[in-house]
């Protein structure tokens, strides 16, 4: 488990002067967030942010993967490990270029105060910025970040009329979701957001550790039920995530604790939570996987590495574990 080494400096001065303009800084995020398991991807992210020579510069990677797999958590934990202040920009379809850089705000006596975005706050104090869910932003907003993401390392604020250079310690990464409510990020931006670090689902042991970390009060039998469910979903290439497991468990535990005189049984509480959190269709994962494959036009769900080396019915296939779903393809 990767803990938080020590609280990064939060006694940062609240303003900075740039080109004669006073910028009011945002407040760093101080959420305590550990990263459990999957050391390789954490090390890759930390490597991106290393500078190995005076002529070197850090990379700005994108973290990709389905919702709830841990992208934001990983970025936050990496920032903590570097012991730098962390700023998070929550990107949406409505994010405008000035939201990303500097926003003018009406202040006392009709004056204008300039507020630095989380990104610019990180640039000024030498912090880490996570552009969260970056592919929800439109092209115009991305365009304003082009100089920052290449060798120029500065951003221009049109509203304040200034150019803002990034502190040498400034680091950035972008998380991106794979769902339909996102924009296509233009190629010239994608080429600045390299490398791509794709998160995979956790192993059984890691998933158990993640659930235990978030719900240390959960009883072992409930944890085991949930991990078994999630691992089966991962094998079937369904997108149920650790976040789904955490929500499901949390609700089941609350239902069991609700009425100590007439407690609901563990199995009933877990099943009710499954229905309420993930929907009734989650009760039959095999059927859900079959329907998902059908919706993909009769194609198989995305291939894993094992598919490159083993035929689907090979017992040595890493996914061949008792409940193989290949047989059911014949019904389709
Ligand atoms: N390896 C991990 N270590 C600790 N917690 C984890 C890990 N993976 C997932 N989690 C937990 O799972 C939940 C979802 O993680 P997170 O919000 O980072 O996912 P995400 O990929 O950013 O999702 P979204 O795409 O919806 O933003 C969080 O509560 C997070 O703490
Ligand atoms: Mg996220």
Reported as a pLDDT band with limits 50, 70 and 90, residue 311 is low
Residue 75 Cα: closest atom of ligand 1: 18
Whether 210 is in the pocket of ligand 1, judged by its Cβ within 6 Å, is yes
pLDDT (tens digit, 9 = 90+) per residue, 270-301?
A: 999 999 999 999 999 999 999 988 888 755 54
The pLDDT of residue 260 is above 80 = yes
Ligand nearest, relative to CA of residue 88: 2
> What is the model's pLDDT at position 182?
73
More confident residue, 297 or 263: 263
Whether 67 is in the pocket of ligand 1, judged by its Cβ within 6 Å, is yes
> What is the model's pLDDT at position 328?
43
Reported as a pLDDT band with limits 50, 70 and 90, residue 109 is confident
The pLDDT of residue 77 is above 80 = yes
Q: What is the mean pLDDT of residues 186-214?
A: 96
Q: Which of these ranges, 9-13, 18-22, 43-47, 48-52, has the smallest mean pLDDT?
A: 9-13
Closest CA to 131 of 140, 167, 122, 139: 122
Please state, for a pLDDT cut of 70, what percent of the chain lies above it. 85
> What is the model's pLDDT at position 329?
44
Q: Token digits for 323?
A: 């409940």
Q: What is the mean pLDDT of residues 132-145?
A: 94
Q: Determine the distance separating the centroid of ligand 1 and the alpha carbon of 251, expressed in angstroms.
A: 18
How many whole angstroms separate alpha carbon 88 and alpha carbon 62?
A: 14
How many whole angstroms separate alpha carbon 106 and alpha carbon 100?
A: 18
The pLDDT of residue 76 is above 70 = yes
How many whole angstroms separate alpha carbon 207 and alpha carbon 164?
A: 42
How many whole angstroms separate alpha carbon 46 and alpha carbon 52?
A: 12
- Beta bridge partners, 169, equal none
Mutate to test the pocket of ligand 1, among 31, 40, 68, 208 (most ligand atoms within 8 A of CB): 68
Whether 173 is in the pocket of ligand 1, judged by its Cβ within 6 Å, is no
DSSP 8-state secondary structure symbol assigned to residue 92: -
> What is the model's pLDDT at position 170?
98
Whether 127 is in the pocket of ligand 1, judged by its Cβ within 6 Å, is no
Residue 34 Cα: closest atom of ligand 1: 4
C-beta separation of 247 from 210 below 8 A? no
Residue 177 Cα: closest atom of ligand 1: 25
| Nearest alpha carbon, ligand 1 atom 24 | 67
Q: What is the mean pLDDT of residues 232-237?
A: 96
Q: Determine the distance separating the centroid of ligand 2 and the alpha carbon of 135, expressed in angstroms.
A: 12
Ligand nearest, relative to CA of residue 76: 1
> What is the model's pLDDT at position 99?
96
Q: What is the mean pLDDT of residues 132-157?
A: 95
Domains of the chain in start order, with CATH, are 15-198 (3.40.50.300), 204-331 (no CATH)
């Amino acid at each position: 488990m990767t803990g938080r080494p020590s609280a990064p400096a939060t006694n940062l001065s609240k303003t900075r002067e740039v080109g004669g303009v006073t910028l009011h800084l945002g407040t760093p995020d101080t959420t305590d967030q550990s990263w459990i398991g999957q050391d390789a991807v954490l090390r890759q992210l930390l490597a991106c942010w290393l500078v190995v020579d005076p002529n070197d510069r850090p990379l700005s990677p994108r973290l990709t993967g389905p919702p709830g797999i841990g992208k934001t958590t990983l970025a936050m934990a990496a920032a903590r490990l570097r012991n730098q202040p962390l700023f998070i920009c929550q990107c949406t379809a409505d994010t405008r270029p000035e939201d990303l850089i500097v926003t003018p705000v009406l202040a006392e006596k009709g004056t204008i105060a300039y507020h630095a975005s989380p990104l610019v706050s990180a640039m000024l104090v030498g912090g880490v910025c996570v552009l969260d869910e970056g592919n929800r932003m439109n092209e115009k907003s991305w365009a304003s970040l082009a100089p920052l993401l290449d060798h120029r390392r500065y951003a221009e604020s049109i509203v304040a009329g200034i150019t803002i250079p990034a502190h040498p310690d400034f680091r950035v990464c972008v998380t991106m979701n794979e769902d339909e409510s996102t924009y296509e990020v233009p190629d010239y931006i994608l080429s600045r957001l390299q490398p791509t670090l794709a998160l995979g689902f956790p192993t059984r042991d890691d998933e158990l550790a993640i659930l235990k970390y978030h719900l240390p009060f959960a009883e072992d039998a409930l944890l085991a039920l949930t991990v078994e469910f999630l691992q089966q979903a991962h094998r079937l290439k369904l997108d149920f995530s650790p976040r789904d497991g955490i929500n499901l468990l949390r609700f089941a535990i609350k239902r069991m604790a609700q009425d100590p005189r007439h407690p609901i049984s563990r199995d009933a509480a877990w099943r009710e939570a499954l229905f309420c959190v993930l929907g009734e269709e989650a009760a039959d994962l095999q059927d859900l996987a079959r329907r998902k494959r059908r919706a993909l036009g009769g194609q198989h769900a995305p291939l894993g590495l094992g598919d490159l080396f083993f035929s689907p019915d090979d017992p040595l296939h890493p996914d061949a574990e008792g409940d193989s779903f290949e047989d059911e393809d014949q019904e389709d």
